[in-house]
Amino acid sequence: MNSSASPGALPPSGVAAAFTAVGRFFFRYRNYLAPVGVLLVLVASEPCQFLWSEPADRVWDTLGLLVALLGQTVRLLTIGLAYIKRGGRDRQLEAKRLVCEGVYAHTRNPMYVGNFLLLTGLAMIYNSVLGYLVALPVYVGAILAIIGSEEDFLRGKFGAEYDDYCRRVPRFVPRLEGVGRTLATMPFDWRQVITKEYGTTFAWLSVALALLAREQVAWHGVAASRTALLRLGLTWLVVAALWATARWLKKSRRLRPPVA
């Protein structure tokens, strides 16, 4: 980024217009980016053992799960403390106010940071060259374009207020100062977390279990992997049951906050 530009500024004029247009396009279809990327990696590549060692690969799988869980935690905190929706109508950008509290007081794009950690964790589990060198970079490029279009929209709507926010809060890497105070002083809306996040949680956990199952079969074949596959299948049934419960709670409106 040009050092003379204001914080969060887009690239110079001609490039900025194209960058924003691409970002708005990806914004409309952002919910499909990760699923399509994961599917293409699964179809077009095979899992590789980390350091060509199965024990090392198990350690790498565990680290991948921890990275994905960190991404999930970022998303949960973001939604539970100060949820923001910019979907608008017809999947167009919209914002009634500039949200600067909660996790947004520490990083301007916490949901995208969480998404990146989730996908990085899944890429570590599968450990495919295609995932590392193609899928993740393409996803990052698309997200940067989306963020650019969001910044253009927010700067146009909120002007100096948004520029001041950009000066105070990092674009990606969270500012840890004051995190404890944020967590201690802001109420956590667990109802909103369940309502908004149960689908994403179910999706990435299902993918993680499927990746673990595929690499198990790749290393040992179906017959020798029956016990491991059974454990993974039972784990998925638990995850599916939790998903069904959360969906029922949402659809039955039992997660509505009590009337004061």
Please classify residue 1 by burial: count the beta carbons closer than 10 Å to its beta carbon, then call 0-12 exposed, 13-18 middle and 19+ buried. Answer: exposed
Written as six digits, the tokens of 21 are 């247009």
pLDDT the model gives residue 93: 81
Please classify residue 103 by burial: count the beta carbons closer than 10 Å to its beta carbon, then call 0-12 exposed, 13-18 middle and 19+ buried. Answer: buried
Question: 103-128 pLDDT, tens per residue?
Answer: 999 999 999 999 999 999 999 999 99
Distance CA 42, CA 115 (A): 19
Distance CA 260, CA 258 (A): 6
The answer to whether residue 68 scores a pLDDT higher than 90 is yes
**1.10.3470, 1.10.287, 1.10.357, 1.20.120: CATH of 13-187:** 1.20.120
Distance CA 207, CA 129 (A): 18
Distances (CA, A) of 210 to 42, 47, 228, 246: 10, 12, 12, 22
Distances (CA, A) of 28 to 91, 101, 111: 5, 26, 16
Distance CA 113, CA 75 (A): 8
pLDDT the model gives residue 166: 97
Question: 125-146 pLDDT, tens per residue?
Answer: 999 999 999 999 999 999 999 9
Own/partner pairs for 39-43, CB < 8 Å, 24+ apart? 40/135, 41/123, 41/126, 41/128, 41/130, 41/131, 41/134, 41/135, 42/126, 42/214
Question: 4-55 pLDDT, tens per residue?
Answer: 344 444 444 677 788 888 898 999 888 899 999 999 999 999 999 999 999 9
The predicted model gives 52-75 an average pLDDT of 97
Question: 221-234 pLDDT, tens per residue?
Answer: 999 999 999 999 99
Torsion of CA 124, 126, 131, 132, to 10 degrees: 30
The answer to whether residue 258 scores a pLDDT higher than 70 is no
- Mean pLDDT over the full length of the chain: 90
Question: CB-based contacts of 213: which residues, under 8 Å, 6+ apart?
Answer: 225, 228, 229, 232, 233
pLDDT the model gives residue 20: 86
User: Domain segments of the chain: what residues?
Assistant: 13-187, 189-260
Amino acid at site 239: V
Written as six digits, the tokens of 76 are 């949960």
Written as six digits, the tokens of 139 are 């996803």
pLDDT the model gives residue 102: 96
pLDDT the model gives residue 19: 82
pLDDT the model gives residue 8: 43
The answer to whether residue 91 scores a pLDDT higher than 70 is no
